[in-house]
């Protein structure tokens, strides 16, 4: 097949149309292409077997300066092959194969996150579950109008993994908790606006962009960022953007900020019944229906993992998720098999027959014991996530938000004067915009993000003497 990176690709395989992963070389770039379009490039064991040795080789090669990831067809990667996993897990003699799949997948996710050179991931299509794991810690993550992003594991009686407890707990407010529990999708520019992508570029521009990447003589992070910014797509007036703003975002943060699923449901119920904003009432009602369709066990496991992951390194979060995955594969709940069978095999539209069926029948302390304590490497009951020797376990990962829009926490630090570049304890909106325009070098979307955050999180304090309005963060 033709390469997007070079005019004359150099595939490493003899039958590229049949191999599930294609490898290409062009100038300083080394590209892996997920090539199971009929399965939306869902990760399976043969794909992982091909990916890891090649990524490790490129990571240590002086000739490979940039690693690029992309997919063939409508998806970058729609997830992992959970049907095979559940089939393996259902029999004691093949259960180790199910656990080994997650072990291989999570180690692959860490290797890509820690790759010691620029990694550009093109999420030009469906990017869910296991696909998010391959992409979300890349330094450069491209969303297009075709991107559909989700962590839908609670829909199938499982829990968000591939590092989700790490990255979902670090995006603004409680958006990660909301996405992790409901399995809701976000699309197109919204993936960029919420920080899951660092750049938004129209799909038609991707081939030319990859050719320009391959033409870089001495690629650096800064040069790559400049190249991606040059290809960026400005937001058109009628273009869909995220709906999670304003009052709806305030309601989301309030409801999903609770530390039990029961309290989240209670808060949403109150919003659905009595919130002054009709849009919020409708959103809360829909969200209650979504949570009601999910596995109660999965909801509680997911929330516990996201809360714990916020204080962990990526490696520790992946280990926790490995322990949780081992519990799911070892029959800690029947819901994983029930969900995969109902949703992916039989494709029924009704709520799967979860057991227990109600939140109040799922014991929180039992969840913590069964999913977070029973299966661990220390007890010899779960495999250990072990980086390859060339990656120091103490390696400091490059901040995946470095080239993204500023986070809400970063904006707050500039407002309250704790940011290293603030230079003052008081700041106006115009000064705030100018600071971030300089820091992000005119990055598209920065102004819109800051204005939305200021409207929601800041009060204006008038200084009549200086004729200025200072921003004050609402606590």
- Supply the residues annotated as catalytic: 80, 130, 153, 161
Selection from 141, 24, 125 nearest residue 78 by Cα: 125
Dist CA 259 CA 255 (whole Å): 10
**Phi-psi category of residue 421: left, alpha or beta, with phi > 0 → left and psi -120 to 50 → alpha:** alpha
Q: Contacts for 16-21 with beta carbons within 8 Å, 24 or more apart?
A: 19/50, 20/44, 20/46, 20/47, 20/50, 21/47, 21/50, 21/51, 21/54
Q: What is the enclosing helix (H) or strand (E) of 272?
A: helix 261-274
Dist CA 406 CA 412 (whole Å): 10
* b/e sequence 261-271, b meaning 16+ C-beta within 10 Å: beebbebbeeb
* In contact, 78 and 126? CB cutoff 8 Å: yes
* In contact, 383 and 106? CB cutoff 8 Å: no
Phi, psi of 271 (to 5 degrees): -65, -40
> CA 124, 65, 25, 230 torsion: positive or negative?
positive
Helix, strand, or coil here: 424? coil
* In contact, 111 and 133? CB cutoff 8 Å: no
């Amino acid at each position: 097949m033709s390469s997007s990176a070079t005019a004359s690709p150099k595939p490493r395989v003899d039958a590229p149309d049949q191999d599930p992963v294609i490898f290409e070389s062009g100038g300083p770039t080394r590209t892996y292409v997920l090539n199971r379009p009929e399965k939306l490039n869902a990760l399976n064991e043969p794909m992982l077997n091909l990916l890891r040795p090649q990524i490790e080789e490129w990571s240590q090669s002086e000739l490979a300066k940039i690693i690029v990831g992309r997919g063939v067809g409508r998806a970058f990667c729609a997830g992992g092959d959970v049907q095979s996993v559940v089939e393996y897990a259902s029999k004691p003699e093949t259960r180790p194969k199910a656990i080994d799949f997650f072990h291989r997948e999570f180690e692959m996710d860490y290797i890509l996150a820690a790759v010691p050179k620029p990694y550009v991931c093109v999420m030009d299509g469906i990017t869910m579950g296991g696909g998010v794991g391959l992409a979300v810690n890349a330094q450069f993550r491209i969303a297009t109008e075709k991107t559909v992003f989700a962590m839908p594991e609670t829909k199938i009686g499982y829990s968000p993994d591939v590092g989700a407890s790490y990255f979902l707990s670090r995006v603004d407010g409680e958006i990660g908790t909301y996405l992790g529990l409901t399995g809701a999708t976000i699309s197109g520019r919204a993936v960029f606006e919420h920080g899951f992508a660092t750049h938004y570029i129209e799909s038609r521009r991707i081939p030319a962009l990859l050719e320009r990447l391959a033409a870089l003589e001495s690629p650096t992070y800064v040069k790559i960022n400049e190249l991606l910014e040059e290809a960026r797509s400005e937001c058109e007036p009628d273009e869909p953007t995220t709906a999670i703003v304003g009052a709806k975002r305030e309601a989301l943060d309030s409801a999903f900020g609770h530390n039990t699923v029961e309290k989240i449901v209670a808060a949403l119920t109150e919003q659905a019944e009595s919130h002054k904003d009709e849009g919020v009432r409708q959103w809360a009602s829909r969200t209650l229906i979504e949570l009601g369709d999910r596995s109660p066990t999965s909801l509680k496991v997911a929330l516990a993992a996201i809360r714990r992951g916020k204080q962990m390194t990526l490696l520790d979060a992946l280990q926790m998720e490995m322990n949780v995955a081992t519990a799911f594969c070892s029959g800690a709940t029947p819901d994983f098999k029930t969900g995969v069978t109902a949703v992916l095999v039989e494709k029924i539209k009704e709520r799967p027959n979860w057991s227990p069926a109600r939140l109040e029948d799922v014991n929180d302390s039992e969840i913590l014991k069964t999913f977070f304590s029973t299966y661990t490497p220390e007890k010899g009951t779960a495999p250990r996530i072990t980086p390859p020797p060339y990656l120091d376990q103490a390696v400091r990962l490059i901040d995946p938000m470095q080239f993204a829009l500023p986070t809400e926490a970063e904006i707050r630090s500039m407002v309250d004067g704790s940011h290293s570049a603030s230079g003052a304890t008081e700041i106006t909106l115009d000064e705030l915009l100018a600071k971030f325009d300089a820091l992000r070098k005119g990055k598209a979307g920065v102004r819109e993000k800051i204005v939305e955050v200021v409207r929601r999180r800041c009060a204006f304090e008038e200084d009549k003497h200086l004729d200025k309005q200072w921003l004050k963060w609402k606590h």
